[in-house]
Amino acid sequence: MTLIELGATQLIMSALLSLTFDDPFAEIAALRDEWPRVTSNEHLDDLIGRARWASSYWYAANHLYAARDVEDFIMFSGPFMQNCGLACELIFKCLLAGAGHAYPSLRKFGHSLSELYSEAESQFDISRFLLAVVQASSAIALPDEIADRFMERGHTREEADVGWRVFSQHIYLLDESYDRPFRARYLSAGPIALPEPFILLLGSLILLNAMNERLQLPLIGTVYGFPSERVTDAGSLKPDQS
């Protein structure tokens, strides 16, 4: 990790620890009060297994991100995006399983992150969640080339800075390489647009830890691989109501 990255990490960690409140991640995402709708001990065991499986893939993606070489595009567009996609898919399916979707119902989504996310949005307050991701990602700068694209379409740089941080946009981008034609899995020639990894990891972290709290599982670490005990009071992710 470079000194610049370490400085950014310290800013993020300072922000994450700036304010404390009870049940932080479920409150951040405003996870529905009735989640999970457990129907049996077997159903609870299934949800716990799904959440732990999703956590494992989130950790795998996070470790690849923490150890990344910015010049290794193959590692970034292949193994990292594939593991990130797997983590997001498992997180969304766990959300839906806890909302009453049975296994056959989940299978109909296949590997489509866009469809899974659109369906899973009903389980949390989308406005609060997106605002939390926007605020918590402020430690990383909007890339100039992204700002230029927004401004070419008539938006201001301020609008671009917010629009670029919307989690769902990065899910849709990831889906273009993760789902068919599976470009994160198989070599394919041609140009490709990829999402911002920090925003993907941050947004999926919030949703996963919200479920972990409700299932009484340990919280997973935050982006850059910090241990979970460092982020149990993730107050800066609470939307600013002022």
Given pLDDT bands bounded at 50, 70 and 90, which one contains residue 225?
A: very low
Q: Flag whether pLDDT at 200 surpasses 60.
A: yes
Q: What is the mean pLDDT of the chain?
A: 81
Residue type, 85: G
Q: Flag whether pLDDT at 185 surpasses 60.
A: yes
Q: Flag whether pLDDT at 215 surpasses 90.
A: yes
Provide, rounded to the nearest whole percent, the portion of the chain with pLDDT above 70.
80
CB burial readout 13-42, b (16+ within 10 A) else e:
bebbeeeeeeebbbbbbbbbeebbebeeee
Q: Flag whether pLDDT at 8 surpasses 70.
A: no
- In this structure, are residues 61 and 222 in contact, taking their beta carbons and an 8 Å threshold? no
Give me the phi and psi of 32, to 5 degrees please: -55, 140
- In this structure, are residues 204 and 58 in contact, taking their beta carbons and an 8 Å threshold? yes
- Entry pTM: 0.82
Q: 3-state SS of 63-91?
A: HHHHCCCCCCHHHHHHHHHHHHHHHHHHH
Q: Flag whether pLDDT at 76 surpasses 90.
A: no
Mean pLDDT for the stretch of residues 134-158: 90
- Largest alpha-carbon pair distance within the chain? 54
pLDDT at 216: 94
**Lowest-confidence pick of 76-85, 206-215, 228-237:** 228-237
The sign of the CA dihedral 221, 222, 225, 229 is negative
CA pair distance 179, 170, nearest whole angstrom: 14
pLDDT at 223: 59
**DSSP conformational letter for 226:** B
Q: Flag whether pLDDT at 190 surpasses 80.
A: no
Q: Which residue has the higher pLDDT, 192 or 21?
A: 192
Q: Flag whether pLDDT at 189 surpasses 80.
A: no
pLDDT at 222: 61
| Distances 65 to 61, 148, 165, 239 between C-alpha atoms, Å | 6, 26, 18, 26
pLDDT tens track for 157-179: 999 999 999 999 999 999 988 88
- In this structure, are residues 44 and 38 in contact, taking their beta carbons and an 8 Å threshold? yes
Q: Flag whether pLDDT at 135 surpasses 60.
A: yes
pLDDT at 50: 97
The two three-digit tokens of residue 92, written as one number? 């969304």
pLDDT tens track for 12-65: 433 443 333 344 788 888 899 999 999 999 999 999 999 999 999 999 998 888
**DSSP conformational letter for 224:** T
pLDDT tens track for 92-133: 999 999 999 999 999 999 999 999 999 999 999 999 899 888
Nearest CA to 65 out of 51, 54, 75, 53 is that of 75
pLDDT at 4: 44
Given pLDDT bands bounded at 50, 70 and 90, which one contains residue 234?
A: very low
